[in-house]
Structures are given as C-alpha cells and as structure tokens.
Amino acid sequence: MQSNPAPESLADIVIPVYYHVVYANQTFDGGYLSNQNVQDAFNLLVTGFQNTGFTFQLEEVRRHFNPTWFNEVGISDPWPIEWDMKHSTRVGGPRTLNIWSILISHISLRKISNDGYAQFPWNYATNPDSDGVTMKYTVFPGNGHPTRSGKTLIHEAGHWLGLYHTFEGNSCFGNNDFVDDTPAQAFPTDGCPFGLDTCPQPGADPISNYMNYSFDSCLTEFTPGQINRMLNQYQQFRA
C-alpha cells in the first residue's frame, strides 16, 4: 500500500451531475425512470460522500429514447455503440459527472459487476467522450432488491474519483489500492461477515467500506486515506 499526502484544503468541491436516463420504452422494465427514482439515487450519492470534501449538484435529468443503447451498452464489447451513446450525450468537461442508466444485462462479459462501471480520472485526457459512470437502471433506493439498494452509485463515483477496490489485486501483499488505512484483503466480500480477516497483516477486512463488494446494508464509509486519494486525484486530473 502507499500513502496519499493530505490535500491543503478540505473545502467542499462541488461536482455538477447530469443523469442520462436511457430507455427502450416508457415503462419501468424498459428503463424509464421517474424523476423521483433519479432524485432518490442522487440523494444517496450525496449522503455517501458527506464529510469527504466532495458534494454533488444535480444539474439536469436527460432522457434518451434508444432501445439499442439501452439493451446493448455494457454487454460483451459493443464499444462503437457505447461510444455513440456517450459521445452524443455527454455534457461538460473533466469536472462534470455524467451518469447513464441502462439495462446492463446479466450476460455482461466486460465487467466484474453487473450493476455499474466507471472510468478512472487519469483516463480522461485520452478518452474524454467515455468519461463518467454507467449504471444498471434499477440501482436506486426502494428498488426492492434484497442486497443492492443504490449504494453501487457511491462505489462507482469512488472509482470516477480515483479509488480502486479495497481487494484490488486479490492479494495480501503489494500496493493493492494504494491506500494505507484500508486493511489488506485477499478477495471481495460477499454479504456482511464482520470480523472476517483474509490476510495476516493487522486489521480485519473492510466490510463496511464503499469500495468493497459487501451488501449495501453494511456499506457506510470511506477511510481518511481514501478521501485524501480522491481529493488528490481530483486535483491532478479533474480540477
């Protein structure tokens, strides 16, 4: 692991957000989210980043009727389709967070998680059109899912701001997530097994950390080291 020097100021950085609802038809199963669904997802995002130095401002909800985008982005590797969607709809520069909600089919081959994915900040310079977070459209509070009720958006925004998984590398040794105060973790967490310790180094697995794969019900925090890393990554690549 590697330390991240504390930034000079913890004053709130306001990140403008554009939420793109991509849909195949005007039903929930077709991806059509209400303004309340989006607001609930956004409110949870804001809550997850309290006391981090970051706050978010929802600038606009934009809706895009495109069954091809909704159904095919995020599965296998249809990059031309994804590029078309993001190039056609993305708003702002490196400091603006664009979120797209799509189907992200269960047959996804590209991603470890079927719930969402994000682009790291250091990739903006070479791939500005693809910058942002792509979410499964059902990721919002009150969706009825037993284990995923919306906090995946907090997790993906953490990636967008430069965080790796707490279990990065699936190893007890090495730099892993480049943050000193997240204990070493040998593999992703499933459920909420508090006290689980998969590595010999001090500290149990960070079950409650947003950058783990624990159930939403036990995800509650970023560490000070993660907060410093996000602020430094933002200042280096997005400010």
**Which residues have a catalytic role annotated?**
156
**Partners of 14 in the beta sheet?**
55
Distance CA 109, CA 40 (A): 29
Q: What angle do CA 126, 99, 72 make, to 5 degrees?
A: 85
Q: Which position has the token pair 């989210």?
A: 33
- Judge whether 150 and 191 are in contact, CB under 8 Å: no
| Helices within the chain (DSSP H only) | 35-48, 67-72, 79-89, 152-160, 224-237
- Which residue, 143, 135, 145, 144, is CA-closest to 115? 135
Please state the length of the chain: 239
Contact 12, 230 (CB under 8 A): no
